[in-house]
Amino acid sequence: MSSDHLVAPTRAGTFAEGVRDQLPILLGVIPFGLIFGALAVSQGIPGWAAQGLSLFVFAGSAQFVAAGMVGAGAPALVIVFTILVVNLRHLLYSASLAPSLRHLPSRWRVVLAWLLTDEAFATTSARLNRGIQLHADWYMLGTGLALWSSWQVSTAVGVLLGAQVPAGWSLDFALPLTFMALVAPSLVDRPAIGAAASAGVCAVLLAWLPFKLGLVLASLIGIAVGVGLERIRQTAVGVPS
Amino acid sequence: MTLDFWAVVLLGGMAVTYATRLSFLVLIRHDRLPGQVRRSLRFVAPSVLAGLIVPELLLTDGHLAAALLQPRLVAGLLAALVTWRFRNTWLTIAVGMVSLWILGALLPG
């Protein structure tokens, strides 16, 4: 990892590090983009509109839900509202990264916010968790643009050629595997482990909720459990026995 | 599906999505958040990522898998072991994917 080098990494080097850390995720995302493009066309969505969703909305789960709703003949405003609900988890990502990115000029934050996805959040927060603040802007730009460009190209290929990845390869499984590797180093103490464990269990129990609300709710429960455990620990430390 | 329909879906979808991303990075000053909320932010990544991972291992088509010896669960646990021991992303993916392919061939899906 370049952070281990004694020489401080350059901006370009950090940008490349962001791209490199996104590569394992792309293994899972590119098939997802191909399938989105192919599925959108099969729902009767014109190719330019499918590409437009990837260009303008740039949020995989929301795009899948939107494509399904278009196919089912839902009104435009209902679709927009659903996109909002599916994307509510970005509020958590935005708040979580804000302390580390607040020193940046607003023109930087406007660009980085555009690139704030599950995938870019996973790599960027994992790097910050390792205590590396240097060139966080260039890192996130690299990791975000790698995802953005792959998403655009894979959507276009899916629209033009259909999904060509055999389902038997199960490449979508690369996504949870990468997230696993990214989350592991943050499980350093009992509150963090408790947060992850309870969010994981609740995400399964609440998976029946529509529009990814199960994930949002499970995350909030996990955060509350983490805060609770931390408070118990602090009380235990603070009060001499 | 008229042009108006797509203008609303694309521009509206863009506006609401971008607003959630801009929220605390640009629109709302993060230091306006209460201290307790700010201290809770370190749990966002472990919680959301665990919430994304665990259903992928346990659920098939949105339902709890009937058999515990389900390829994705076993492959996921092996990959978790590799991640915990070696802290290497590519090794985690390699072990997880290869064991999923092998188990998928051996176990009923």
- List pLDDT tens digits, range A32-68: 899 899 989 988 899 999 999 999 999 988 999 899 8
Are B27 and B46 in a shared domain? no
Which of B5, B24, B61, B88 would you mutate first to test chain A, the one with the most A CBs within 10 A? B24
Q: Would you say residue B100 lies in a domain?
A: yes
Greater confidence (B38 vs A240) lies with B38
Are B69 and B94 in a shared domain? yes
Confidence of residue A241 (pLDDT cuts 50, 70, 90): very low
Q: Would you say residue B54 lies in a domain?
A: yes
Are B56 and B86 in a shared domain? yes
Tell me phi and psi for residue B107, to 5 degrees: -95, 155
**pLDDT (0 to 100) of residue A238:** 67
Per CB-CB distance under 8 Å, the chain B contacts of A183 are 45-46, 49-50, 53
> How much is the average pLDDT of A3-21?
83
Q: Is the pLDDT of residue B6 over 60?
A: yes
Asked casually if ipTM beats, i.e. exceeds, 0.95, the reply is: no
Are B57 and B96 in a shared domain? yes
- List pLDDT tens digits, range B88-107: 989 999 999 999 999 988 87
| 3-class SS letters over B1-53 | CCHHHHHHHHHHHHHHHHHHHHHHHHHCCHHHCCHHHHHHHHHHHHHHHHHHH
Query: Looking at the complex, does the CB of residue A68 fall below 8 Å from at least one CB of chain B?
Result: no
pTM of the model: 0.85
Are B87 and B53 in a shared domain? yes
Specify the range with the lowest mean pLDDT, choosing from A31-45, A140-154, B7-21, B63-77. Answer: B63-77
Choose the closest CB to B44 out of A96, A184, A201: A96
> How much is the average pLDDT of A200-209?
93
Confidence of residue A239 (pLDDT cuts 50, 70, 90): low
**Domain layout of chain A by residue ranges:** 12-165, 187-241
Are B24 and B63 in a shared domain? no
| Residues A95, B24: C-beta atoms closer than 8 Å | yes
Are B67 and B97 in a shared domain? yes
**How many CA atoms does the CB half-sphere of A134 hold within 13 Å?**
14
Q: Would you say residue B37 lies in a domain?
A: no
- List pLDDT tens digits, range A74-94: 899 999 999 998 899 999 999
Are B6 and B58 in a shared domain? no
How many residues make up chain A in this entry? Answer: 241
| Residues B88, A121: C-beta atoms closer than 8 Å | no
Q: Would you say residue B3 lies in a domain?
A: yes
In chain B, % of residues over pLDDT 90:
58
Containing structural domain, residue B58: 42-109
Are B47 and B94 in a shared domain? yes
Q: Would you say residue B61 lies in a domain?
A: yes
Are B80 and B106 in a shared domain? yes
- List pLDDT tens digits, range A95-138: 999 999 999 999 999 999 999 999 999 999 999 988 888 899 99
Per CB-CB distance under 8 Å, the chain B contacts of A226 are 40, 42-43, 46-47
- The answer to whether B51 and A196 have CB atoms below 8 angstroms apart is no
Are B53 and B83 in a shared domain? yes
Name the nearest CA neighbour of B1 among A51, A53, A74. A74
Are B27 and B74 in a shared domain? no
Q: Which DSSP state fits A169?
A: G
Number of folded domains in chain B? 2
| Mean per-residue pLDDT over chain A, rounded | 90
Q: Would you say residue B5 lies in a domain?
A: yes
